[in-house]
Amino acid sequence: MNRPYLGEFEELVLLTVAMLNGQAYGVTILEEIEKQTGRTVSLSAIHATLQRLEEKGYLKSQMGGATAERGGRRKRFFTVTLGGTRALAEIHTTRNNLWNQIPKTGLA
C-alpha cells in the first residue's frame, strides 16, 4: 500500500475538517485555520485544497440546505473518509516517531 502524501496545507485542511466534525465548509475551515495558525488564508486556496483532497479520496462532500442568509445558496459540507482518517493517523505516527528521535540536546 502506498504511503499517503499530504502537503502541509493539505494536512491542515484535512485536520480542520476532522476537528469541525460535520460542520466543515469553506468559510468555517478558513476561519478555523486562521484562528489556529495565525495565517491569512484565501477562500480559493481552501476550495482548491478541498477539491484535491476529495479527488484523493480523503474527503467526501454533500450539499446542505439553502439558507436565506446565503441568498438561497447551499453550503457544501465536508467530512473525512476512512482513507483520510488512515492518512492522518499514519502522518501523526510518522511525525511522533521523528520527534521522539530528536536528542534532548537537539532542541534549544
DSSP state of 24: B
Give the domain extent around 21: 8-101
Do residues 20 and 28 lie in contact, with contact meaning Cβ atoms separated by under 8 Å?
yes
The count of structural domains within the chain is: 1
Question: Which pLDDT tens digit goes with each residue over 62-93?
Answer: 988 767 666 667 789 999 999 999 999 999 99
Global pTM? 0.85
Residue 1 falls inside a structural domain: no
pLDDT in the model for residue 68: 67
Q: Specify the pLDDT at position 2.
A: 66
Mean pLDDT of all residues in 49-74 = 85
On whether residue 106 sits in a domain, the answer given is no
First-to-last C-alpha distance (Å) of the chain: 37
**CATH of residue 25:** 1.10.10.10
pLDDT tens sequence across 2-48? 677 899 999 999 999 999 998 999 999 999 999 999 999 999 999 99
